[in-house]
């Protein structure tokens, strides 16, 4: 695999930013000239959590090794503490992640633009972001995964009052395009397949159970996995491999 730090100017954010990209590396022989048709790789857009950045997945998990064995590309953008939302007092991070990052990444690198070869996943804040982007753009992604996700965003308000003041302002979350419950009820059978996992010792566990039940009742094709584990990298390192395996089955 090649690991690339891609620094670029974002029109959505109106500033320079970065993403980390893992790309399968073709076999080559030194001194042998061959013309090989460039392959477009299946791609996972992998989102970080609240206190992390675009480097975190390669620093704390073996995602590069897992992706290499499967021949997948991984795109990991930086999104600050945005909850992947077009902020009331800040930047348009939903537009950045859902529109600009895939468009630019596919123009910079040999990535497939086919729905059946595009996937999105994340942990905690990124799990919320992955489900939100996928359910609002069902034509772009074959499947999405949330690991220990903050799936009930309204419930998380007391934990992050300062962040939410800048992100959402005074606008209501319930029933909006930022509410996963609303999105699940609206998108129904058109939604990408969903994979949801959360450790039983995680502070988000009960919220994940409630969202699982709501999504299934709404008719979504959702696979749920729980078991021992907390809100930590030991759990996410293990389960990102399971997520990749799930996505590979959907191709």
**How much is the pLDDT for 30?**
55
Taken in order of first residue, the domains within the chain and their CATH numbers are 2-24+40-250 (3.40.50.1820)
- In eight-state DSSP terms, residue 236 is H
Q: Report the distance separating Cα 13 and Cα 15, nearest Å.
A: 5
DSSP summary character for residue 86: B
Residues 76, 67 contacting (CB under 8 angstroms):
no
CA 65 to chain centre: 18
CB 86 within 8 A of CB 99: no
Judge residue 102's burial from the number of C-beta atoms within 10 Å of its C-beta, 0-12 exposed, 13-18 middle, 19 or more buried. buried
For residue 248, report the phi and psi dihedrals to the nearest 5 degrees.
Answer: -60, -35
Provide the pLDDT for residue 190.
79
Residue 80 to residue 152: CA distance in whole angstroms: 19
Task: Give me the long-range contacts of 185-190 (CB less than 8 A, separation at least 24).
Answer: 185/214, 185/218, 187/135, 187/136, 187/138, 187/220, 188/218, 188/219, 188/220, 189/219, 189/220, 189/221, 190/138
Structure tokens at 75: 């795109």
pLDDT in tens, 2-42: 999 999 999 999 999 999 999 998 875 555 444 556 789 99
Please, which contacts does 161-166 make with residues 24 or more away whose CB atoms are closer than 8 Å? 163/50, 163/81, 163/83, 165/89, 166/87, 166/88, 166/89, 166/90
pLDDT of residue 163: 95
For residue 246, give the nearest of 217, 226, 222 by alpha carbon: 222
Count other C-beta atoms under 10 Å from residue 65's C-beta.
10
- Which regions of the chain are under pLDDT 70? 28-37
Helix, strand, or coil (residue 20) = strand
Which of 141, 124, 138, 147 minimizes the C-alpha distance to 45? 141
- Report whether 139 contacts 162 (CB < 8 A): no
Distance CA(140)–CA(150), nearest Å, equals: 22
- Residue 135's pLDDT is 97
pLDDT score for 32:
47
pTM given for the model: 0.95
């Amino acid at each position: 695999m090649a690991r690339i730090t891609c620094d670029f100017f974002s029109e959505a954010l109106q500033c320079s930013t970065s993403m980390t990209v893992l790309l399968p590396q073709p076999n080559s022989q030194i001194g042998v000239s061959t013309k090989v048709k460039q392959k477009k790789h299946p791609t996972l857009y992998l989102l970080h959590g609240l206190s992390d950045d675009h480097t975190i997945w390669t620093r704390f998990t073996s995602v590069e090794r897992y992706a290499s064995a499967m021949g997948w590309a991984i795109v990991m953008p930086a999104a600050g503490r945005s909850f992947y939302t077009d902020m009331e007092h800040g930047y348009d991070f939903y537009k950045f992640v859902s529109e600009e990052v895939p468009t630019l990444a596919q123009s910079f690198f040999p990535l497939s633009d086919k729905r059946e070869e595009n996937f999105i996943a994340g942990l905690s804040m990124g799990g919320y972001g992955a489900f939100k982007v996928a359910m609002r753009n069902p034509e772009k992604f074959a499947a999405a995964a949330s690991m220990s996700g903050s799936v009930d965003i309204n419930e998380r308000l007391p934990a992050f009052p300062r962040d939410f003041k800048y992100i959402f302002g005074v606008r209501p979350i319930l029933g909006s395009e930022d509410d996963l419950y609303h999105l699940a009820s609206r998108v129904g059978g058109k939604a990408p397949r969903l994979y949801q996992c959360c450790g039983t010792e995680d502070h988000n566990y009960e919220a994940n159970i409630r969202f699982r039940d709501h999504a299934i009742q709404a008719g979504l094709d959702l696979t749920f996995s729980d078991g021992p584990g907390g809100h930590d990298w030991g759990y996410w390192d293990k389960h990102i491999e399971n997520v990749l395996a799930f996505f590979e089955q959907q191709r």
